[in-house]
Amino acid sequence: MCSILGIFGLQPGDDVQALRRHALELSQRQRHRGPDWSGVHLDDGAILVHERLAIVDPAGGSQPLHSADGDLALAVNGEIYNHRELEQSLAQDYAFQTGSDCEVINALYRQREDIGQWLNTLNGIFAFALWDRARQRFVIARDPIGVCPLYWGHDRDGRLCVASEMKALADTCADVAQFPPGHYYDSDVDELVRYYERPWREHAATDGVEVSRQELREAFERAVHRQLMSDVPYGVLLSGGLDSSLVAAVAARFARKRIEDNDTTEAWWPRLHSFAIGLEGSPDLAAAQVAAKALGTVHHGFTYTFEEGLDALPEVIRHIETFDVTTIRASTPMFLLARRIKAMGVKMALSGEGSDEVFGGYLYFHKAPDAREFHAETVRKLDALHNYDCLRANKSMMAWGVEPRVPFLDVEFLDVAMRMDAAHKMVRPGPGGRPIEKAILREAFEGYLPDEILWRQKEQFSDGVGYGWIDGLKAHAQAQISDRVFAAAASRFPVNPPQTKEAYLYRHLFEQFFPGVACAQTVPGGKSIACSSPAAIAWDAAFAKMADPSGRAVAGVHEAAL
């Protein structure tokens, strides 16, 4: 995973060398995402800059990627896991110039006219800008769920700019905005098009559909196996919760063989390393140790102090580009963990994001009244994921040049897990009769993990690193923000005004790095509470009064499990 920056719409008379220098300066602001190499493409119509984090084909594969005739220039942030299958399925030969997994995008563009059709064949995480010099045409696209970030806007001369992170465009594009997931833009038609549509978005398409536990398990195993594609040292994030533990358990089964050689040779790094972080005595550190021992991973459990987390807050907010309370709480320990991982020479880590959205794992799903409502909420959560957990995982890890991968959001796995009737996902009694979320997922992996991990109650990451983290943040904000200052929150921040003093503190820090209305509008909502959606409030009116996004705040669910 890397960073991209593009400027399109250059005109005769533009000082292209000055624009090139400007593009390089903007791209340097996101070089933490790609510290291994920089590449530039410049012609009379476009500038593309790429900062590379080399994961596949580190000796080659530098970007922008060009066609043999030089007409196509492609800058990609991401990974295409099924690139070999796509290369073998091409209707005509294509002269590949590198071993990069992303170069297949050039081949597909050259051979298939329907952009949406070939985008839907990609299994991966990506955000890219492709320039066709011969046709003076460019295409911009983002992966279906929005695992990879992407922003765009217009500079003061009307040129279209695109970048992996907002910080590269914030003071250049007054209209900077997120590029939406699952969409592409084609300059030939000047239109933003949604290409990722699935029948399972509607409950009617899933009504009565059963997916066996074996099919679910095998689909997830294939997803993890695909995403182990790497030519550099990698590991797994292991909080000791269900989701990260399942990722680690499956990865451990494949780690000894090299995926790039179709599992025929020994892996370059056959021992799987796992990583966890928390305050001293945190629930996650203890659970991660249990899971790691059972799985046989080389485990690294790190601690941080509350003061170290507090010191990192401004830098965390600058990197993750949001003032969302839940996201900042969880991003800070992940940011600190990524720094530790980077110091050990690891450049890629698998993580468990997405499972709670797919299977209704948040504690408020205990209140869901029926399968239709349950399913609609999972779709809504998936649609919003790019603003929350995907943003957190990607930007807090990539702040240190560590690429996160998320097998639960693999598009083939999603098609299996989301076509299942949500009646099979709803909360039901687990061992001992206690109601438990994600029972079907737990049942699909019986025997993979110790029961104390397989049936562990949901903890939000920001809770699991230690309850003192959230409690300390709230106390710190209470001491820093006076009642008088907080009373004027709506007038100072008219766009999505903060609802708590903690939210006010984060908004104040965000504005220092990202002033202006457009930047504020890239962050959705004023309350970032997992259970503040209209659907959840309809399930239980008490949710409407909640101003704390901690999982512990879901009264009668979390406490009952302790």
Which pLDDT tens digit goes with each residue over 280-332?
999 899 999 999 999 999 999 999 999 999 999 999 999 999 999 999 999 99
Specify the pairing of strand 234-237 against strand 273-278. Answer: parallel
Write down the mean pLDDT value for the chain: 92
Mean pLDDT lowest among 117-121, 129-133, 384-388, 546-550: 546-550
**Shared domain check, 255 and 189:** no
**Shared domain check, 371 and 320:** yes
Write phi, then psi, for 495 (nearest 5 degrees). Answer: -90, 115
Whether pLDDT at 363 is above 90: no
Catalytic residue status for 531: no
Which pLDDT tens digit goes with each residue over 127-141?
999 999 999 999 999
Which pLDDT tens digit goes with each residue over 445-467?
999 999 999 998 876 555 668 78
**Shared domain check, 216 and 173:** no
Whether pLDDT at 383 is above 80: yes
**Shared domain check, 171 and 295:** no
**Shared domain check, 229 and 179:** no
pLDDT of residue 562: 40
pLDDT tier at 528, thresholds 50, 70, 90: very low
In DSSP notation, 399-459 reads TTT-EEE-GGG-HHHHHHHSSS-GGGTS-EE-GGG-EETTHHHHHHTTTTS-HHHHTPPP-
**Shared domain check, 253 and 176:** no
How would you list the strands of the sheet with 65-66, edge to edge?
A: 65-66, 72-80, 124-132, 137-142, 183-186, 191-194
Question: What global pTM score does this model have?
Answer: 0.94
Whether pLDDT at 491 is above 60: yes
Helical segments of 59-212, H only: 83-88, 104-111, 115-119
pLDDT of residue 550: 47
Whether pLDDT at 258 is above 90: no
State the Cα angle at 405 between 404 and 411, rounded to 5°.
Answer: 150
Torsion of CA 200, 205, 208, 212, to 10 degrees: -30
CATH of the domain at 423: 3.40.50.620
**Residue ending a domain, choose from 149, 181, 197:** 197
**In a 3-state reduction of DSSP, which class is residue 39?**
strand
Whether pLDDT at 479 is above 50: yes
Average pLDDT, integer, range 19-43:
97
**266 Cβ partners below 8 Å, 6+ apart?**
256, 257, 258
Q: Which one-letter amino acid corresponds to residue 373?
A: E
Containing structural domain, residue 125: 3-197
- Domain count within the chain: 2
Which pLDDT tens digit goes with each residue over 78-103?
999 999 999 999 999 999 999 999 99
